[in-house]
Amino acid sequence: MQLYIGNKNYSSWSMRPWVLMRQFGLPFEEVMVRFDSFDAQSRFKQVVGKVSPTAKVPVLVDGDLVVWDTLAIAEYLAERFPDRGLWPADRAARARARSLCAEMHSGFGALRSHCPQNIEASLPEIGAKVLAEQPGVRADLARLISMWTEALTSSGGPFLFGAFSIADAFYAPVVGRLRTYGLPLSAAVKAYVDSVWASDGVAAWVGDALAERDFLDFEEPYRTSRA
């Protein structure tokens, strides 16, 4: 299998399936296509457009099959490797995990917009300003804390459904945002954030992101240089 991704420092959607596959030891070849721009004529669009009808990342290629949506990739991998336990084993827990992933897939727009992924940055002053000025971000953060607290209380942690699952891979970029922007968390949620950040798949992605040293000004609404 080949997984097409963008810059690890910035590409939150790419992070999800990469972390999932690395965490569960699924065999794949990484194809990183640098974000030069998102114009139709950019090298990024030209390269990814040859394998995906959307010309976006991530894209999973398995033989003749192309899967180009993050949630679809996760579902495909769960079916391709049923013995790995990518979803929780319990049916009710599995339904809740899918609900959490679907909510992430379609929601939290304010948090994603005002706190874009930037793993190597530390922007707590921006986080405080955004939290004070953007009610949508406050609502998204409150929902995250409530959702995660409920799941962790039910499962006993350290991950949302006890063991690491697709749900944790889906929220790994959110964990990164909370760290980058220094957003306030309860003790239980902070412990979850720390567990996700220390997990093998996430730690490997973060290490690669920090090694990129590729400052992209069009991905940087709050900085003019990497400092």
Query: Are residue 57 and residue 118 in the same domain, yes or no?
Result: no
- State mean pLDDT over 104-126: 97
Which of 84, 106, 138 marks a domain boundary? 84
Q: What is the CATH number of the domain that holds 105?
A: 1.20.1050.10
* Burial profile 126-161: b = 16 or more Cβ within 10 angstroms, e = fewer: bbeebbeebeebbebbeebbebbeebbeebebbbbb
Q: What pLDDT digit, counting tens, does each position of 214-223 carry?
A: 999 999 999 9
Query: Are residue 98 and residue 77 in the same domain, yes or no?
Result: no
What is d(CA 52, CA 175) in angstroms, rounded to the nearest whole number? 28
> Cβ(4)–Cβ(31) under 8 Å?
yes
Q: What's the chain's Rg over C-alpha atoms?
A: 17
Number of domains in the chain: 2
| pLDDT greater than 90 at residue 227 | no
Q: What pLDDT digit, counting tens, does each position of 152-196 carry?
A: 999 999 999 999 999 999 999 999 999 999 999 999 999 999 999
- State mean pLDDT over 19-29: 98
Query: Are residue 51 and residue 7 in the same domain, yes or no?
Result: yes
What is d(CA 156, CA 82) in angstroms, rounded to the nearest whole number? 24
Percent of the chain with pLDDT over 90: 99
Query: Are residue 34 and residue 61 in the same domain, yes or no?
Result: yes
Q: Is residue 23 part of a domain?
A: yes
What is d(CA 193, CA 174) in angstroms, rounded to the nearest whole number? 9
Query: Are residue 79 and residue 157 in the same domain, yes or no?
Result: no
pLDDT class of 91 with cuts at 50, 70, 90? very high
Q: What is the CATH number of the domain that holds 79?
A: 3.40.30.10
Which of 58, 84, 110 marks a domain boundary? 84
| pLDDT greater than 80 at residue 78 | yes
Q: Please count the residues of the chain.
A: 227
What is d(CA 26, CA 159) in angstroms, rounded to the nearest whole number? 20
> What residues make up the domain containing 45?
2-84
Query: Are residue 194 and residue 110 in the same domain, yes or no?
Result: yes
Query: Are residue 144 and residue 200 in the same domain, yes or no?
Result: yes
Query: Are residue 140 and residue 71 in the same domain, yes or no?
Result: no
Q: Is residue 217 part of a domain?
A: no
Q: For residue 60, which of 107, 20, 102 has the smallest C-alpha distance?
A: 20
| pLDDT greater than 90 at residue 226 | no
| pLDDT of the residue at 180 | 98
Mean per-residue pLDDT over the chain, rounded = 97
| pLDDT greater than 90 at residue 60 | yes
CA 203 to centroid of chain Cα atoms: 13
Q: Is residue 116 part of a domain?
A: yes
